């Protein structure tokens, strides 16, 4: 659950901090105030792409931070421990900084994290449903991704795609085998020489970094030892050493403190300093005793470093990239060895094809089951969204040739009226119908999501009246067992919130400031009245707003 969201110097936001609670929270405000900017900030914290344009005009960097409450038994906890990103039990801190040049840095529990790690963490924390989700539903890729995501088939689909690419890559190699035999033999001979040379050199993973660190230590051994010894002399072993002088001052003031208690805190500070100086002296003695002045070891490190440098120059890669190069060349040589044996190559192609088909058939079976369940649930949701008698169906259209995404295309079909036949969604749905179907899909998908924080960014566009109230009730129901945050322009939806925040914009043309504040009961009535009545708010409008809130 998202506890706190802090935003500084982001787009038009100077500084905003939200303390969020469980249940259903709504964000409202006038158009252009920056409601969706808060969602954009959360998307960046979850690993979205960033550029310099998100930094507020006149600021050096944008800073985003969020605090989450996480259960100990979640898969996320295990991932954090494996990635050495774990923090305090039950708490997860995520932070991201984007500077004026567009460079981005991410932190998880105070430790530096890659964008890939941030995305992995974000997938466990927040599920964001954007305001343009209904537009993406027109694309076959989005339809397939929604079904696979809802059914938990993303991993299996990725395995099948990898297996398809491996099969097709080797199949292509087999097709080229007869045509390029002479050229392939030349490449194979050259590769054998390179692989043999790299095998003799045997570059290890991370070896270059370790060699660099060891060379720095050994080459500076004399200065490190001299520095440690001179520091030890100044601390404890020389004439007028700091430790002896601090001890003497502490002893003198200790006696005087018997006559004036105001000196006791000073004596305690000096005693603490004396203890720390003693500890520093012991650490320096231990460090000095371990420093090795080993010319032979230094020469060996320098020789190995030069060997890796020479290999890097020869193969035109950085020394640190040699282990990966050795692996890639060995893999390519294996492929060419297979190509030299057509019978073995065809057996390998057949084996890879069978491996792909096995995964693809399993994927098809699971998609078929999930499609039937999701079709039924979305059809039921359409009845609540003023599409009585409407039907939704997911069709699996068999492909003549297998593809990376499986053995079928996914096609969403809809009939908005009982008398109409099912037809592809992209061809028959109007803007309002598409918006409602998208919302029904997202509500169903959210119920099956294990993520505890759900964000809906103006997904209620294109609806109103009684339908809007039903949507609000549905979002409130979702908030009973998880945290739901919705950006909305509909008073019927906002009235259903357990908490309501207002986003306001102030300032002139040259300096715009966005603020966010939580509304009390009177404030909610006033804001709902504004949403209902526009610029002119009357007592009747306020009464209507109070009734909405009361319901």
pLDDT, tens digit (0-9, with 9 covering 90-100), for 250-269: 788 887 777 778 877 887 88
Domain boundaries, the chain: 1-131+458-518, 180-340, 519-551
Q: Which of 96, 93, 101 is nearest to 48 (CA)?
A: 96
* Beta pairing partners, 237: none
Where would I find the H helices in 64-219? 75-82, 115-125, 133-136, 140-151, 154-177, 181-201, 207-219
Instruction: Tell me which residue has tokens 């057949």.
Output: 350
Share of the chain residues as helix, strand and coil, in percent rounded to the nearest 5: 60, 20, 25
Count other C-beta atoms under 10 Å from residue 401's C-beta: 5
> CA–CA distance from 528 to each of 206, 474, 504, 531 (Å)?
60, 19, 14, 5
> CA–CA distance from 89 to each of 11, 74, 180, 279 (Å)?
33, 12, 60, 32
Domain 1-131+458-518 has CATH 3.40.50.300: yes
pLDDT digits (tens, 9 = 90+) for 401-458: 999 999 999 999 988 888 888 888 877 656 666 767 777 777 787 776 677 888 888 7
**154: helix, coil or strand?**
helix
DSSP character string of 55-69: BPTT-SEEEEEEEEE
Phi, psi of 55 (to 5 degrees): -80, 130
- Local confidence pLDDT in tens for the 551 residues of the chain: 899 999 999 988 888 888 998 899 999 888 776 778 888 899 899 988 888 888 988 889 999 999 998 877 677 888 888 888 888 888 999 999 999 888 899 999 988 988 888 988 888 888 877 655 555 677 888 889 889 988 889 899 999 999 999 999 988 888 776 566 656 767 777 888 888 888 888 888 888 888 877 777 676 666 776 677 677 777 777 777 787 787 877 788 887 777 778 877 887 888 888 788 888 888 877 777 766 666 677 677 778 888 888 888 888 888 888 888 888 888 888 877 766 666 777 888 999 999 999 999 999 999 999 999 999 998 988 887 778 888 999 999 999 999 999 999 999 998 888 888 888 887 765 666 676 777 777 778 777 667 788 888 876 666 777 778 888 888 888 888 888 898 888 898 899 999 999 988 877 666 667 788 899 999 999 888 988 876 678 888 888 888 888 87
Q: What is the pTM of this model?
A: 0.58
Q: Is 458 exposed, middle or buried (0-12, 13-18, 19+ CB in 10 A)?
A: buried
Report the sign of the C-alpha dihedral through residues 516, 522, 527, 530, in that order. Answer: negative
Instruction: Tell me which residue has tokens 């190069």.
Output: 325
């Amino acid at each position: 659950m998202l506890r706190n969201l802090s935003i500084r110097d982001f787009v038009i936001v100077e500084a905003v901090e939200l303390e969020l609670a469980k249940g259903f929270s709504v964000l409202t405000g006038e158009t252009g105030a920056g409601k969706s900017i808060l969602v954009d900030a959360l998307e960046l914290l979850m690993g979205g792409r960033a550029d310099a344009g998100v930094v507020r005009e006149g600021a050096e960097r944008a800073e985003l931070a969020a605090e989450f409450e996480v259960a100990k038994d979640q898969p996320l906890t295990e991932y954090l421990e494996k990635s050495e990103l774990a923090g305090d039990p039950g708490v997860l801190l995520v932070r991201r900084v984007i500077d004026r040049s567009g460079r981005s840095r991410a932190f998880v529990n105070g430790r530096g994290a890659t964008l890939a790690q941030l995305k992995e963490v974000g997938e466990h924390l927040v599920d964001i449903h954007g305001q343009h989700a209904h537009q993406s539903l027109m694309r076959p890729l989005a339809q397939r991704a929604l079904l696979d995501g809802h059914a938990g088939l993303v991993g299996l689909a990725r395995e099948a795609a990898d297996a398809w690419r491996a099969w097709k890559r080797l199949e292509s190699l087999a097709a080229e085998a007869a045509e390029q035999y002479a050229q392939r033999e030349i490449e194979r001979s050259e590769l054998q020489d390179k692989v043999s040379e790299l095998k003799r050199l045997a570059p290890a993973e991370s070896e270059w970094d370790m060699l660099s660190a060891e060379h720095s230590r050994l080459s500076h051994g004399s200065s490190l030892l001299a520095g440690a010894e001179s520091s030890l002399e100044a601390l404890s072993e020389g004439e007028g050493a700091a430790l002896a002088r601090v001890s003497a001052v502490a002893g003198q003031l200790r006696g005087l403190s018997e006559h004036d208690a105001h000196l006791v805190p000073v004596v305690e500070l000096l005693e603490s300093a004396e203890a720390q100086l003693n500890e520093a002296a012991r650490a320096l003695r231990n460090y000095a005793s371990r420093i090795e002045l080993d010319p032979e070891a230094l020469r060996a490190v320098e020789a190995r470093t030069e060997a890796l440098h020479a290999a890097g120059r020869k193969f035109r890669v950085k020394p640190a990239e040699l282990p990966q190069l050795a692996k890639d060349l060995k893999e390519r040589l294996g492929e060419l060895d297979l190509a030299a044996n057509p019978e073995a190559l065809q057996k390998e192609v057949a084996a890879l094809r069978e491996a792909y088909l096995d995964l693809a058939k399993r994927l098809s079976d699971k998609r078929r089951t999930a499609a039937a369940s999701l079709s039924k649930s979305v059809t039921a949701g359409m009845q609540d969204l003023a599409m009585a008698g409407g039907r939704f169906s997911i069709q699996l259209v068999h492909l003549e040739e297998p593809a990376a995404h499986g053995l079928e295309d996914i096609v969403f079909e809809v009939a908005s009226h009982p008398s109409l036949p099912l037809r592809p969604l992209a061809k028959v749905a109007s803007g309002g119908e598409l918006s409602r179907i998208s919302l029904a899909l997202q509500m169903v998908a959210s119920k099956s999501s294990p993520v505890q924080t759900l964000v809906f960014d103006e997904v209620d566009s294109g609806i109103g009246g009684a339908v809007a109230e039903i949507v609000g009730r549905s979002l409130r129901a979702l908030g009973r067992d998880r945290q739901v945050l919705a950006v909305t322009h509909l008073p019927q939806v906002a009235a259903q919130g357990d908490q309501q925040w207002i986003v306001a914009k102030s300032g002139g043309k040259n300096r715009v400031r966005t603020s966010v504040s939580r509304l009390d009961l009177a404030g909610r009535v006033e804001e709902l009245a504004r949403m209902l009545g526009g610029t002119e708010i009357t007592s009747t409008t306020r009464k209507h707003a109070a009734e909405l809130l009361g319901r």
